[in-house]
Structure 1
């Protein structure tokens, strides 16, 4: 569903205001699991930019039919707590407008930056923003953390050049998870979901997976993304920066890095299309395999040192 139907356009105008008129519509790049459009509307005395998401992934909707409600609930919570997230304008949970669920939200200023001029400052900003999210205390949020992979069915990947390491990874995550303070987590925090303006983080987007869970899941998922985009050293630098901002409230446990790694183990690793959309075009699937192995080795070595 690459287009924005007339029904959705009317729904957007109705939600924004009766005097609103659509000036332009632009398909946003980077999204791989849903369709995003930015609309510019002319109001009586101002211009307004909004974003509408269409949840058209049937498989995902079958597993989680409340996606629009979940994203809307996450955004309501995030903005109420003062986080840099889009504001909900309207949502349509059951697909009555055009056959798929919809969320209409404000447009956060800024752009995705995957090739920063100053990597250390960029990593520092990523870490600082994530700590801000995790400082939100949460006790009655209806969505709870769960692992994306069935630990009982995970097998050593056939593509790996270090199968022994992966066997250890699998063994390490099969035990009971360590105790951890639960907080508000984004659940998909990575560089392509963070917007920048004038060298600082201006907003975080894609909150549909937000839930109550351990901070280590967000840290681990971002670290995996950084290891795949750049290298293990960048992932380690992010962890150090995060620990510096979080202080004693965060106790690092390699388990959460390992479980985050298993969360993405559904087949041979491939280059995430969103990275290509935002200008990182030099990566290959073969390189992804090599970096996945290197990251797994580093995590196992770290976990063994921690025992």
Structure 2
């Protein structure tokens, strides 16, 4: 992660975008995420607040996020709007985007995890109902996942199952998929979910991709009951069940089999300092056993 404050050239760029004669009044780092350095910039211009996201040199995520946000065009208020982009890092050596600020803040320590999980489910169902008319240019999420998960699938407990049945997942109808829909990539205000952030991976993929990924995150944070509350709310809002749910859960578990401990900095940054790498592995393993049993007993 890029930890230092934004360089002067980045602030000058943001001031230009904020409006004629604008200047940057304050710079505040936003918590969550270890990939991009994210800062909230308060300005004196027409655009009072701007979010600056900077990526390591050579990283393609800025270009991907810019393309996705341009296509989403705010997603009826659920996604930030793209204000400007420097995907090649020509201004100050780091690929970056400037985006609008959504109300709220990240919160993975809700008073009622089940109520929060239900809101996550209803919001995801709304996302998945988005029209695909303007989104045909988004990447194929299943193809991208297959290309990046070869190592994990060789040794993960569900490797053989996925090798034989992955095609059943890929053949399902695609929807707008966030690709990293978890508790830390949504914002809250007064207990209400207000927006979705970090869109660089957005793809076209079956709904089970996001559903299973969020269920895994909820298990790690709050336990299987929260994952169930999320699923019930999602399916009620979507008006249909998620086909091959157990197989999708194994898909998410397999894709995270070698990396779940690396999620710890994200959780700590957002306040879950009680979690340890050993605890994440233990919960991941227990969820794997549970979902393997569900798949074999279906």
1:72-121 C-alpha deviation (Å, 9 max, x unpaired): 12222333542511111000111100112110001111012222222222
Q: Secondary structure at the match of 1:82?
A: helix
Report the alpha carbon displacement of residue 188 of structure 1 after superposing the two structures with TM: 0.5
Match of 1:154 in 2: 153
Q: Residue 250 and residue 200 in structure 1: after superposition, are their counterparts in 2 closer, same or farther (change >3 A)? A: same
Distance, in Å, in 2 between the alignment partners of 1:26 and 1:193 is: 18
* Structure 2 residue 140 is matched with structure 1 residue 144: yes
Q: Secondary structure at the match of 1:269?
A: helix
- The equivalent of 1:235 in structure 2 is 227
* Correspondence 1:108 to 2:102: yes
SS of 1:111's equivalent in the other structure is coil
Query: Any gaps of 5 or more consecutive residues in structure 1?
Result: 158-165
Find runs of 4+ consecutive structure 1 residues off by over 4 angstroms.
none
| C-alpha displacement of 1:50 | 0.8
Question: Paired residue for 1:15?
Answer: 17
Question: 2: distance between equivalents of 1:181 and 1:24?
Answer: 45
CA distance in 2, matches of 1:75, 1:268: 28
Higher relative helix content = 2
> Number of matched residues?
288
The answer as to whether partners of 1:114 and 1:278 remain within 8 angstroms in 2 is: yes
Match of 2:81 among 87, 90, 107: 87
1:34 aligns with one of 36, 57, 61: 36
Q: 1:47 to 1:94 in 2, by over 3 A?
A: closer
Unaligned residue ranges in structure 2 (runs of 5+): none
Q: Which residue of 1 aligns with 2:71?
A: 77
Q: What is the aligned counterpart of 2:295 among 285, 303, 307?
A: 303
Maintained 8 Å contact 1:271/1:283:
no
Separation in structure 2 between the aligned mates of residue 249 and residue 271 of structure 1, nearest angstrom: 29
Distance 2:73 2:288 in 1: 36
Residues 152 and 257 in structure 2, CA contact (< 8 A), matched pair in contact too: no
Q: Partners of 1:109 and 1:13 in 2: how far apart?
A: 21
TM-score, length of structure 2 as denominator length: 0.90
Q: Indicate which of 197, 209, 227 corresponds to 2:201.
A: 209
3-state SS of paired residue (2:121): helix
2:167 equivalent in structure 1: 177
Q: Secondary structure at the match of 1:40?
A: strand
Question: Which secondary structure state, in structure 2, belongs to the residue aligned with residue 257 of structure 1?
Answer: helix
Contact 1:108 1:203 (C-alpha < 8 Å) held by counterparts: yes
Question: Closer, same or farther in 2 for the Cα pair 1:267/1:250, shift >3 Å?
Answer: closer
Per-residue displacement from partner, 1:259-306 (whole Å, max 9, x unpaired)?
A: 111111225634521211221111111111110111101111111122
Distance in 1, Cα, partners of 2:74 & 2:28: 28
* 2:267 alignment partner in structure 1: 275
Aligned-partner SS, 1:112: coil
RMSD: 2.0
What is the CA distance between 1:173 and its match in structure 2?
0.8
